[in-house]
Amino acid sequence: MTLDLHGIIPPLVSPFTAAEEPDLGALRAEVRYHLDLGVHGLCVTGSTGDGQMLSAEDSVALAAAAVEETAGRVPVIAGIIRDSTKEVIRYGKAIAATGVDALQVTPVHYLFQPDEDTTVEYYRRIAGETGKPIVIYNVIPYALIPATTVARVLNEVPEVVGVKQSGGNIHQLADLLHMAPEGGAVLTAVDDLLYPSYLLGARGAISATLTVVPELCLAQWDAVRRGDHQAALDLHNKQLPVWRAIDGPNMTARIKVALALQGRDGGHSLSPLTPVSAAEREALRAALVAADVKLA
């Protein structure tokens, strides 16, 4: 399977109503906002979208709304964060019917990590039974897939078209890029090191900072592509405090406040995420102001 994944691919929040139902109108508005800026793809129901908390029905509703609103302008990736092959496939088949372009799948992570052969077969089986291209979401700190295993999956399973290398570990990203797997795109999700990730050869990013300040991230991607490294570094120094302000416990709740400060509607958060404190809100505001982001 071929799918051109590159550039800035924001992972969208999942907006909810006060009754904890998907707010599809708010999601559609976010899709339009990012498309109008010129992003290269969109991701829904990942960790920035509280994917670990979503029912299959909610995941399908959010994915369907994103696909319909995007109308084929850019690829749409939908995340699945489950803890058994059976459950991933159940979600995957349902989400695939919405017309998403790919599924972003974490390894199983509670409580034990499968060995390398089992990991390869895990992704092979999911791809085969869902019929969709797969992006490995390598994010779980205590179940991080080694770079050698990721490279093997990319090279041995044609339906696996990329990896979102996260886990806060640029060393794993560096090892993976050094191996130069031919089977798919290596995308970064190391938010505080997006700029060096691109220099190492990452083909783009899927990470929370892209959702909060997409204009800065698009400008940085363009700067790297044209070789303007001073501009890219300046943008890194604007993005970094924003990431520091959203990173940490209840990150998706913080992200939604960061959107609200800009006049964007990320909706309510799901229980039991802790509400953002006044001090956290002020830190978010200060970081956005320092980054020259226009506030509402």
What would the pLDDT profile of 262-283 be if each residue is shown by its tens digit?
A: 999 999 999 999 999 999 999 9
Is 293 in a helix, a strand, or coil? Answer: coil
What would the pLDDT profile of 56-114 be if each residue is shown by its tens digit?
A: 999 999 999 999 999 999 999 999 999 999 999 999 999 999 999 999 999 988 767 88
What would the pLDDT profile of 194-207 be if each residue is shown by its tens digit?
A: 999 999 999 999 99
1 pLDDT above the threshold of 80: no
What would the pLDDT profile of 7-23 be if each residue is shown by its tens digit?
A: 999 999 999 999 999 99
Decide if 137 is catalytic.
yes
pLDDT given at position 174:
95
What would the pLDDT profile of 130-181 be if each residue is shown by its tens digit?
A: 999 999 999 887 788 999 999 999 999 999 999 999 876 789 999 999 999 9
pLDDT given at position 169:
77
Distance CA 209, CA 247 (A): 10
Mean pLDDT of the chain: 95
Annotated binding-site residue numbers for pyruvate: 48, 206
pLDDT given at position 25:
98
pLDDT given at position 186:
96
pLDDT given at position 2:
73
Which architecture does CATH list for 7-227? Alpha-Beta Barrel (3.20)
Distance CA 206, CA 237 (A): 19
Distance CA 238, CA 232 (A): 10
Catalytic residue among 91, 122, 123, 164: 164
Catalytic residue among 122, 123, 137, 195: 137
Decide if 164 is catalytic.
yes
pLDDT given at position 60:
98
Domain ranges of the chain: 7-227
Annotated binding-site residue numbers: 48, 206
Distance CA 34, CA 39 (A): 6
pLDDT given at position 168:
66
pLDDT given at position 183:
84
CA–CA distance from 273 to each of 10, 16, 139, 257 (Å)? 22, 13, 20, 13
